[in-house]
């Protein structure tokens, strides 16, 4: 009991926001490592973000239950830790789980056929890799091994004696017409499909009892590419077949077969890429669909001369206390939005169906494109920050997002969002509202353009703003005046700061 109690299984914790699963991105420890309390041991991606999970106990890593890339449900064990490694080796239990892919079947009718633990073709039991059937099944293995070889099936002998259909299968085996059928069947080359059904044990453990070791996504890929799994040699654990094995087989087959079409005319699956939709990308898609078909969107546009804003930023960068601060046009856009919200509080609200909730605080969301998809972290209570504090928060938010370290808490509770499409050289767009918010502002690229200034056409720094809003809350007048005030601030930020604050 002492050995059992010192081995602690660490379950995937609930990371908040109603998340039910997470994908293991990377293990930061390996079996045998000695770890400390609260040491990061694994990086997990949820539908919100990628987070590092610390160890709940100190000790030595005993087992790791899931490989990188595996999606695990919240509450499932992911690692086992020996909390007293100095006490000596852990005694193994008397009956250890079998690592075979299949085992001898239990009594007929004990488990429903087709289920894990139930009878499979050949009188065997299909079980998950790394998990054996009940221990009673192991006691039946000697009887299986000592049983005589299976008799020649009666089915192939039936065509040889079509004139005696009433003869029982048992009496048809020794008859003269059935004898030559045996060597004839053995001389015939075995097709891959036949090999799958007839082979009981493969040398590298690829398939036993007619079961090919391959995960469901790999089987689907094989079907799509027209690859027979039974003819492959697996390179995965226990000889299992991987995606790479299937793709290599498909490439080899395609290259070997003469093509009647012209070079480059193939339009098959070999020229397609399939990207799993999961994690942040799946959550983003669900949110965008829900928002687009729930809130009636209206988008308005405003082109603004921001020459004075760009000059103000240059003067700001030249000040001694701002020289180490990252200053970008987004800083002034954020400030313009926060000041415009003071004038028009209804823009910063939420529609619940029965009421409109107007927020007296602004959790300013900044849309950020990351390797895992679009995320929208927000700056809490941004309206109370000074310009320098706002600049620091923006810098930290962007750096954290690029590093993939944005926490779920940083992406929850947003009230108003800015998306900076200008960094991609785009003039403007029609952004979709984040769920629960009533407005989102798209900030386009700043370009030198001919502009009428003081009665003359001159080159000026110009950008286009686009405001999408929920028309259930914000009517055309309110949306227009809010967008006008943001543009007015960017046209002359120094004058606006003096007049509005």
Least confident window among 150-159, 273-282, 357-366: 150-159
pLDDT of residue 87: 78
Give tens-digit pLDDT for 408-460: 888 889 999 999 999 999 999 999 999 889 999 999 999 999 999 999 999 99
Which band of pLDDT confidence, cut at 50, 70 and 90, is reported for residue 162?
very low
* Interatomic CA distance for residues 36 and 30, integer angstroms: 13
High-pLDDT (> 90) share of the chain, %: 32
341-354: average pLDDT: 93
Q: Which residue has the higher pLDDT, 247 or 423?
A: 423
Tokens of 269: 């699956």
Least confident window among 22-26, 74-78, 327-331, 360-364: 22-26
Which band of pLDDT confidence, cut at 50, 70 and 90, is reported for residue 211?
low
pLDDT of residue 428: 93
pLDDT of residue 204: 40
Give tens-digit pLDDT for 122-158: 444 444 443 344 444 444 444 444 444 444 444 444 4
End-to-end alpha carbon distance in the chain: 70
Give tens-digit pLDDT for 168-202: 444 444 444 444 444 443 433 433 333 333 333 34
Which band of pLDDT confidence, cut at 50, 70 and 90, is reported for residue 471?
very high
pLDDT of residue 220: 76
User: Residue 245 has what DSSP assignment?
Assistant: H
pLDDT of residue 241: 87
* Interatomic CA distance for residues 431 and 469, integer angstroms: 9
Task: Assign domain 279-500 to its CATH architecture.
Answer: 2-Layer Sandwich (3.30)
Dihedral over alpha carbons 417, 422, 427, 428 (to 10 degrees)? -10
Say whether pLDDT at 385 is over 90.
yes
Give the residue extent of every domain in the chain. 2-87, 279-500
Say whether pLDDT at 463 is over 60.
yes
pLDDT of residue 410: 87
* Interatomic CA distance for residues 341 and 222, integer angstroms: 56
What backbone torsions phi and psi does residue 27 show, to the nearest 5 degrees?
Answer: -85, 130
Domain 2-87, CATH number (from 2.40.50.100, 3.50.50.60, 3.10.129.10, 3.40.50.300): 2.40.50.100
What backbone torsions phi and psi does residue 174 show, to the nearest 5 degrees?
Answer: -80, 0
Whole-number mean pLDDT of the chain? Answer: 76
pLDDT of residue 233: 82
Which band of pLDDT confidence, cut at 50, 70 and 90, is reported for residue 246?
confident
Q: Which residue has the higher pLDDT, 433 or 116?
A: 433
Which band of pLDDT confidence, cut at 50, 70 and 90, is reported for residue 356?
very high
pLDDT of residue 107: 42
pLDDT of residue 285: 77
**Is 349 within 8 Å of 473 (Cβ atoms)?**
yes
Active site residues: 471
The per-residue DSSP string of 2-54 comes to: HHHHHEEEEEPP--STT--EEEEEEESS-TT-EE-TT-EEEEEE-SS-EEEEE
Report the 3 state secondary structure along 290-325. Answer: HHHCCCCEEEEEEEEECHHHHHHHHHHHHCHHHCCC
Q: Which residue has the higher pLDDT, 279 or 463?
A: 463
473-501: average pLDDT: 93
pLDDT of residue 4: 60
Which band of pLDDT confidence, cut at 50, 70 and 90, is reported for residue 254?
low
pLDDT of residue 368: 87
Which band of pLDDT confidence, cut at 50, 70 and 90, is reported for residue 364?
very high
Backbone conformation region of residue 198, classed left if phi is above 0, alpha if psi is from -120 to 50, else beta: alpha
pLDDT of residue 175: 42
């Amino acid at each position: 009991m002492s050995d059992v109690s010192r081995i602690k299984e660490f379950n995937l914790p609930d990371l908040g926001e109603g998340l039910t699963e997470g994908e293991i991105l990377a293990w930061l420890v390996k079996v045998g490592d000695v770890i400390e309390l609260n040491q990061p041991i694994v990086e997990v991606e949820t539908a919100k973000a990628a987070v590092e999970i610390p160890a709940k106990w100190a000790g030595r890593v005993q087992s790791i239950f899931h490989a990188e890339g595996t999606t695990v449900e919240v509450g499932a064990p992911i690692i086992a830790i020996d909390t007293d490694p100095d006490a000596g080796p852990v005694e193994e239990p008397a009956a250890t789980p079998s690592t075979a892919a299949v085992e001898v079947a239990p009594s007929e009718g004990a488990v429903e056929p087709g289920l894990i633990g139930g009878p499979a073709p050949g009188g065997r039991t299909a079980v998950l890799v790394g998990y054996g059937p009940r221990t009673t099944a192991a006691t039946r293995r000697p009887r299986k091994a000592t049983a005589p070889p299976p008799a020649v099936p009666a089915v192939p002998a039936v065509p040889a004696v079509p004139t005696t259909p009433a003869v029982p299968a048992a009496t048809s085996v020794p008859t003269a017409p059935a004898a030559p059928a045996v060597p004839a069947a053995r001389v015939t080359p075995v097709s891959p499909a036949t090999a799958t059904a007839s082979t009981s044990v493969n040398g590298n453990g690829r398939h036993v009892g007619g079961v090919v070791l391959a995960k469901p996504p790999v089987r689907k890929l094989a079907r799509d590419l027209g690859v027979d799994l039974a003819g492959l040699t697996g390179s995965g654990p226990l000889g299992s077949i991987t995606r790479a094995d299937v793709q290599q087989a498909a490439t080899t087959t395609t290259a070997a077969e003469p093509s009647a079409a012209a070079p480059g005319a193939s339009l098959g699956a070999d020229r397609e890429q399939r990207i799993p939709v999961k994690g942040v990308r799946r959550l983003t898609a669900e949110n965008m669909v829900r928002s687009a078909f729930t809130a009636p969107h209206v988008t308005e546009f405003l082109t603004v001369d921001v020459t004075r804003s760009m000059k103000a930023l240059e003067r700001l960068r030249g000040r001694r206390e701002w020289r180490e601060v990252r200053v970008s046009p987004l800083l002034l856009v954020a400030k313009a939005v926060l000041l415009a919200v003071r004038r028009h509080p209804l823009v910063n609200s939420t529609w619940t169906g029965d009421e409109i909730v107007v927020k007296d605080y602004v959790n300013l969301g900044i849309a950020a494109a990351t390797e895992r998809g679009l995320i929208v972290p927000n700056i809490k209570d941004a309206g109370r920050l000074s310009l320098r504090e706002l600049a620091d928060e923006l810098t930290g938010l962007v750096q954290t997002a690029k590093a993939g370290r944005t926490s779920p808490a940083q992406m929850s509770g947003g009230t108003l969002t800015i998306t900076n499409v200008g960094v991609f050289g785009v003039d403007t767009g029609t952004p979709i509202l984040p769920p629960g918010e009533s407005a989102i502002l798209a900030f386009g690229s700043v370009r030198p353009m001919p502009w009428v200034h003081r009665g003359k056409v001159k080159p000026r720094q110009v950008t286009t703003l686009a405001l999408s809003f929920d028309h259930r809350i914000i009517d055309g007048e309110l949306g227009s005046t809010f967008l006008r005030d943001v543009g007015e601030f960017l046209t002359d930020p120094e004058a606006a700061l003096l007049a509005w604050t």
